Chains A and B, each alone.
Chain A
Amino acid sequence: MRQSYFRVLQLITGVAVFFLIAAHVTALRLDDFAGVFGVHIEEPTSWGSVMDRATSAGWASFYIILLAVAIYHALYGLRVVLMELPWPPVIARSLNYIMMGIGIAVFGYGTFIALNAYYS
């Protein structure tokens, strides 16, 4: 039964990640679309612009939430793909823990990047 809740969470995070990444990509790469929503960021990938966002609490939390949601969705999806491969039994049994380990490590690394810039 528990497994099916994780699957539902995959669907929920899918919807969440859609809105978060759509906003992220629109603001930082699709300036014409961003203009429709009244957003305009001058040279979004310049150091000044990146640091402006990194030191604002709103954007910093946005990125940490995006990290968490995207990592869950991506690793759950990757796990489904990997489970179809013929692993040796040891790996097959520990796949869930391997994925959790990767997830925690990547989240830790990404959060470190964000917080390191936030407190700079």
Chain B
Amino acid sequence: MNVAEVKKKPLKNYLGIWGWVWAGRYNVERYLYTLQRVTGLGIILYGILHLTANGMRISGEGLWEDTMSLFENPVFAVGEYLVIAAFLIHALNGLRLILQQLGYTLGAPKPPIYPYSHALQRRRPIVLAMGALGAILLLLILIDFVV
């Protein structure tokens, strides 16, 4: 390949917006970032609806009760569960990110002596712990919702 050809076809070293969704066969943590983004944006969307619905208070009791009776529809119950689930996932994953950013839970650096363990293996336990905690809480919240 000559220089002109290289210039015509620049190497793609970035993924663009598509990378938000799919970056290839990376580890779980890479996709937890996608999840963090999806849940964060989802909660913002809910927040917009929530503040709009809350604004109905200004017009007094009638409009408020009408708005609230709208939410008795089971579709909204499912929506509320999803919002709480998004919140929980975002919070637990966010907590993991905060701990790791401050340097906790990463494990001490080790000299490369056989059998090797790489950094990813050492920081996997907190992902599993947060995942398990999240799954238990999601189940309990589901029970709270249906009972």
Chain A interface (Cβ < 8 Å from any Cβ of B):
11, 14-15, 18, 21-22, 25, 29-33, 45-47, 50, 54, 70, 74, 77-78, 81, 84-85, 106, 109-110, 113, 116-117
21 of the cross-chain contacts (CB-CB < 8 Å) are A11-B101, A18-B91, A22-B91, A25-B84, A30-B84, A30-B141, A30-B144, A31-B144, A32-B144, A32-B147, A47-B64, A47-B65, A50-B57, A74-B47, A78-B41, A81-B40, A106-B51, A110-B51, A110-B54, A113-B55, A117-B57
Q: Report B44-82 residues with CB < 8 Å from chain A CB.
A: 44, 47, 51, 54-55, 57-58, 61, 64-65, 68, 71, 80
The number of residue pairs between A and B whose CB atoms lie closer than 8 Å in the complex comes to 66
Q: Report B113-147 residues with CB < 8 Å from chain A CB.
A: 140-141, 143-144, 147
Q: Which residues of B contact A30 (CB under 8 A)?
A: 84, 141, 144
Q: Which residues of B contact A45 (CB under 8 A)?
A: 68, 71
Q: Which residues of B contact A116 (CB under 8 A)?
A: 57-58
For B, the interface residue count at a CB cutoff of 8 angstroms equals 31
Report yes or no: B17 in contact with A113, Cβ–Cβ below 8 A.
no
Q: Which residues of B contact A110 (CB under 8 A)?
A: 51, 54
Q: Which 8 A-B pairs have the closest CB atoms?
A: A32-B144, A47-B61, A18-B91, A30-B144, A45-B68, A14-B94, A11-B98, A77-B40
Report yes or no: A74 in contact with B143, Cβ–Cβ below 8 A.
no
Q: B31 at interface (Cβ–Cβ under 8 A)?
A: no
List 20 additional A-B contacts (Cβ < 8 Å) besides A30-B141, A47-B65. A11-B98, A11-B101, A18-B95, A29-B84, A30-B84, A30-B144, A32-B147, A33-B141, A47-B61, A47-B64, A70-B47, A74-B47, A77-B40, A77-B44, A78-B40, A84-B20, A110-B51, A113-B54, A113-B55, A113-B58
